[in-house]
Amino acid sequence: EMSMLRKKTDPIPFELEIGKFLEKTELGLGHLYFNSAKEIDLPDGKKVALIYFPMPIMAEWKKVLTKVINELEKKLQQRTVFFIGNRTILKKEKRGCFKPKGLQKRPRNRTLTSVYEATLADLVHPALIVGKRTTYTPSGSYQRVFLSKTHQTALESKLETISALYSKLTRRTVFFTFDN
């Protein structure tokens, strides 16, 4: 039984492939695991591999992420690899509805906005988001996201892919700029 993949439902072949590969790497990922993985085709014909990791071990994953992504991208040619936290969005509480027993107020980090923002932060890792501006136009709104300069060289080539992927995951439009 594979220890890298921990998932309640039956794994798809792609997840098994990723799991086997991560177990074989020399990166010593023994204590780490992921929840699911999927392949996404973006409108521009690019292919993306998206891997979801559990929130409790997020800090552990972040330590090795850059190395793991490099290894995976070598293996899965033509695919850009992204890791994002496996977060839960809870519905907005309607006024006058009874709350299910034992459930407190919906935590801020389970709101749609918060999950989407955290997802974006995961996608641009290792860069940091240093600012955001939302612009509203008659044809819809978009966000301009300012990233820290430190990882500009590593990320520059991926930004279009990140925008397309984020749009596919959240139906929101983002553009990136590197902040000075």
Q: Give per-residue pLDDT as tens, 88-115.
A: 998 887 777 766 666 678 889 999 999 9
**Cα 25 to Cα 93, 126, 133, 152, distances in angstroms:** 44, 21, 40, 27
**Cα 131 to Cα 33, 100, 140, 147, distances in angstroms:** 31, 37, 20, 7
Give me the sheet containing 140-147, strands edge to edge.
129-137, 140-147, 174-178
Which pLDDT does position 1 carry in this prediction?
A: 46
pTM: 0.89
Question: Helix 13-24 crosses helix 58-75 at what angle (to 10 degrees)?
Answer: 100
**pLDDT < 50 stretches in the chain:** 1
Which pLDDT does position 2 carry in this prediction?
A: 58
pLDDT tens-place string over residues 47-72? 999 999 999 999 999 889 989 999 99
